[in-house]
């Protein structure tokens, strides 16, 4: 899966979770940039990422994910 | 209609009990303040579905929603507490959908998206053949034992739906409104039940009569890393999925017998200590460590009487003598009477009284929250010091637990750190200028207690060594 494909899949996840079809993901986008991206939403993102990409994320890894770019890199490393 | 015309609602105890009674969702995080203080919510929270159904009912009654509803999506962003007043904010409205938020000031509580259109004309297949369950107490779902889990849930009093949400029941049908209410009962009482937090839902409305008694459910996925359960639902004219967290359980400090192997025998013999806030967390751990070293302890509680008595029994039963006793003490009340009738005279006291620390707030600084922390960490501590110094002929040594957050804190802990910082200054001046009392202050790192519970515990470390070291320091200082 290419980086572009990962970002496309992440965009679907973000738009679905935040109920906002206007979200355009950038690598430096973080919780400050998306309305409703709080700690609970963060866990929703991770759970959705696990399901979509069929990967397992360890609890300790979650704290290292500060922005969209970090999530994309983690996905890439696990595929 | 403008935003200003939209109603607000105070979710008081009366409405909380009415929803709980109708739905049958009696989970303690909604109904029991004593249990709540040992969870990450801290205080009783409003049923998330209650807020959503109230808002939908209002919007239909005010004709903001006038088309048939085909799909409802909800995300519970933040807790709504009992007695909170919640408003509705329309975020987006077009011919196809309505997106709105429940909010308190600037704080987003719940996001809801309603899609308009014809209901699904597909037959709903039940996800379980189990009979309908009416649980009086919440089921204790466990990821290792119940991976494949399904069932069928109704509500406690379907007749109350019409009274609670009349416009919604008329527009969507009594059956479907009852089904939406049952989603709360599924999460709170069955799956995952006791240790649950409702996270989100995505349901389609069906036009067909499904003849399914109640709402059936089946776990689709459980994420070990996040604790998030994905649960399929079908029945009462609804199909789709709900998500709920399997929330952290309260932190149990090590048993007394384990501490006996760590603490030197007789290390705290001939010492008598009052542990304020000793019914749980670091206070309970301190009491056990002192007793394990042969000290006599009085543990005070404000609301956790049962927990305080349990610790007392654990210590006294093992020691075969009454070296531990309990005292009811509220640091926000007049403490002269309870402190003047202590069962034993004390030469040490430890101050662990605290309200719930991690709070939701709408602004960087909340004066109300600061005042609450201040009343515990400054007023309460000072009042006890004064009373004990007056009542005790000998010098008393006091332990004041501060926090590393004074120097370096995560977002949202401003008021907490400010009040602890004020407590540190008070500690210093008591030691310096009060003749009969000596204080020791220690900045503790985040330790594993109910207060540091999150969805996953990443940074809090075990409290035993840190507390044991603090207790030893206090006793060595007192000797010196």
Q: Which CATH superfamily is domain A3-78 in?
A: ACP-like (1.10.1200.10)
User: Going by DSSP bridges, is the β-strand pair B272-276/B348-351 parallel, antiparallel, or unpaired?
Assistant: parallel
pLDDT of B434 over the 90 cut: no
B237-266 pLDDT, tens digit each: 999 999 999 987 778 889 999 999 999 999
HSE (side-chain half, CA atoms, 13 Å) at B298: 19
Q: Identify the three-state secondary structure at position B96.
A: coil
Q: Which chain A residues are within 8 Å of B455, Cβ to Cβ?
A: 39-40, 43
Among B15-29, B40-54, B111-125, B160-174, the minimum mean pLDDT is found in B111-125
Average pLDDT over residues B231-239: 96
Distance between CA B175 and CA B162 in Å, rounded?
A: 10
Domain boundaries, given as residue ranges, for chain A: 3-78
**Domain spanning B256-479: CATH 3.40.50.720:** yes
Give the model's pLDDT for residue B458.
46
Phi, psi at B98, each rounded to 5°: -130, 125
B91, B228, B232: best to mutate for the A interface, most A CBs within 10 A: B228
Least confident of A26-35, B106-115, B129-138, B203-212: B203-212
Pick the CATH number of B3-246 from 3.90.1150.200, 3.40.1180.10, 3.50.50.60, 3.10.129.10: 3.10.129.10
Distant-in-sequence, close-in-space partners of B182: CB < 8 Å, separation ≥ 6 = B23, B153, B154, B155, B214, B215, B236
Helix (H, G, I), strand (E, B) or coil at B198: strand
Which DSSP letter does residue B133 get?
A: B
The pLDDT assigned to B323 comes to 95
Q: How confident is the model at residue B456 (pLDDT cuts 50, 70, 90)?
A: very low
Query: What mean pLDDT is predicted for residues B51-79?
Result: 95
CA distance B480 to B467: 20
Q: How many CB pairs under 8 A join A and B?
A: 70
Which pLDDT band, with edges at 50, 70 and 90, does B226 fall under? confident
- B343 to chain A, closest Cα gap in Å: 46
Tell me how far apart the alpha carbons of residues B444 and B416 are, in angstroms, rounded to a whole number: 14
Distance in Å from the first CA to the final CA of chain B: 74
Average pLDDT, chain B: 91
* Spacing of C-alpha B54 from chain mean position: 23
Strand partners, B359: none
pLDDT at residue B210, as a whole number: 67
What was the pLDDT predicted at B479? 63
Report the percentage of chain B scoring pLDDT > 70: 96
Which pLDDT score, from 0 to 100, does residue B209 have? 67
Contact B225 A58 (CB under 8 A): yes
Where in chain B are the domains? 3-246, 256-479
Percentages helix, strand, coil for chain B (3-state, rounded to 5) are: 35, 25, 40
Cβ(B364)–Cβ(B322) below 8 Å: no
The answer on pLDDT for B455 being more than 50 is: no
A34-78 pLDDT, tens digit each = 888 887 788 889 989 998 999 988 877 887 888 999 999 999 999
pLDDT at B282 over 80: yes
Asked if B297 contacts B291 with a C-beta cutoff of 8 angstroms, the reply is: yes
* Parallel, antiparallel or unpaired: strands B69-76 and B150-153: unpaired
Q: Grade residue B2 by pLDDT with cuts at 50, 70 and 90.
A: low
What the block records as the tokens of B110 is 């719940």
pLDDT at B1: 45
Ordered DSSP codes for B299-331: EEESS-HHHHHHHHHHHHHHHTS--EEEEE--T
pLDDT computed for residue B107 by the predictor:
86
Nearest CA in chain B to A61: B225
Structural contact between residues B356 and B369, judged by C-beta atoms closer than 8 angstroms = no
E strand or H helix at A14, and its extent? Answer: helix A3-17
pLDDT digits (tens, 9 = 90+) for B158-210: 899 999 999 999 999 999 999 999 999 999 999 999 999 999 999 999 987 66
Q: Mark yes or no for CB contact B225/A17 under 8 Å.
A: no
Question: Tell me, what's the pLDDT at B103?
Answer: 94
- Region B458-480: mean pLDDT is 80
Which DSSP string do the residues of A16-74 spell out, in sequence order?
Answer: HHTT-TT----TT--GGGSTT-SHHHHHHHHHHHHHHHT----HHHHTT--SHHHHHHH
Is residue B373 very low, low, confident or very high in pLDDT (cuts 50, 70, 90)?
very high
Q: Confirm if B231 and B243 have CB atoms less than 8 A apart.
A: yes
CA distance B329 to B305: 10
Residue B140: DSSP 8-state:
B
pLDDT for B454: 58
């Amino acid at each position: 899966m290419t980086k572009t494909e990962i970002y496309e899949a992440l965009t679907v996840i973000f738009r679905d979770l935040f109920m906002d079809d206007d979200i355009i993901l950038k690598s430096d986008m973080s919780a400050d940039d998306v309305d409703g991206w709080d700690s609970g939403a963060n866990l929703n993102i991770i759970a959705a990422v696990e399901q979509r990409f069929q990967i397992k994320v360890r609890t300790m890894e979650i704290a290292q994910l500060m922005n969209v770019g970090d999530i994309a890199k983690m996905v890439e490393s696990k595929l | 209609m403008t935003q200003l015309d939209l109603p607000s609602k105070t979710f008081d105890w009366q409405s909380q009990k009415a929803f709980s009674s109708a739905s049958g969702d009696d989970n303690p995080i909604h109904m029991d303040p004593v249990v709540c203080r040992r969870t990450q919510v801290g205080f009783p929270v409003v049923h998330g579905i209650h807020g959503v159904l109230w808002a939908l009912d209002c919007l239909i009654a005010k004709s903001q929603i006038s088309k048939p509803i085909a799909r409802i999506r909800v995300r519970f962003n933040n807790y709504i507490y009992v007695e909170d007043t919640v408003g509705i904010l329309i975020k987006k409205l077009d011919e196809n959908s309505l997106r709105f938020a429940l909010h308190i000031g600037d704080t987003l509580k719940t996001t809801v998206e309603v899609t308009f259109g014809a209901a699904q004309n597909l037959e709903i297949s039940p996800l379980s053949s189990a009979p309908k369950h009416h649980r009086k107490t919440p089921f204790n779902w466990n990821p290792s034992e119940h991976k494949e889990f399904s069932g069928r849930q109704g509500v406690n009093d379907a007749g109350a739906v019409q009274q609670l949400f009349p416009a919604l029941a008329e527009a969507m049908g009594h059956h479907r409104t009852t089904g939406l209410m049952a989603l709360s009962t599924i999460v709170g009482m069955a799956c995952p039940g006791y240790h649950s937090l409702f996270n989100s839902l995505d349901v389609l409305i069906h036009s067909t009569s499904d003849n399914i008694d109640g709402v059936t459910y089946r776990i689709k996925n459980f994420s070990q890393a996040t604790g998030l359960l994905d649960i399929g639902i079908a029945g009462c004219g609804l199909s789709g999925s709900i998500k709920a967290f399997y929330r952290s359980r309260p932190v149990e400090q090590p048993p007394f017998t384990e501490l006996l192997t760590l603490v030197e025998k007789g290390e705290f013999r001939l010492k008598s200590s009052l542990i304020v806030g000793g019914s749980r967390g670091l206070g309970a751990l301190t009491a056990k460590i002192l007793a394990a070293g042969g000290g006599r302890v009085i543990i005070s509680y404000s609301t956790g009487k049962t927990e305080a008595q349990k610790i007392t029994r654990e210590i006294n039963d093992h020691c075969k003598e009454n070296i531990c006793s309990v005292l009811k003490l509220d640091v926000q009340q007049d403490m002269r009477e309870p402190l003047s009738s202590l069962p034993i005279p004390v030469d040490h006291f430890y101050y662990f009284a605290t309200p719930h620390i991690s709070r939701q707030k709408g602004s960087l600084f909340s004066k109300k929250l600061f005042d609450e922390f201040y009343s515990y960490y400054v007023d309460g501590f000072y009042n006890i010091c004064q009373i004990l110094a007056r009542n005790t002929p000998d010098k008393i040594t006091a332990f004041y637990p501060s926090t590393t957050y004074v120097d370096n804190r995560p977002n949202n802990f401003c008021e907490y750190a400010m009040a602890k910082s004020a407590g540190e200054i008070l500690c210093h001046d008591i030691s310096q200028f009060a003749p009969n009392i000596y204080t020791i202050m220690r900045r503790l790192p985040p330790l594993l207690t109910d207060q540091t519970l999150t969805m996953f515990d990443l940074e809090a470390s075990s409290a035993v060594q840190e507390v044991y070291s603090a207790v030893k320091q206090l006793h060595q200082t007192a000797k010196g």
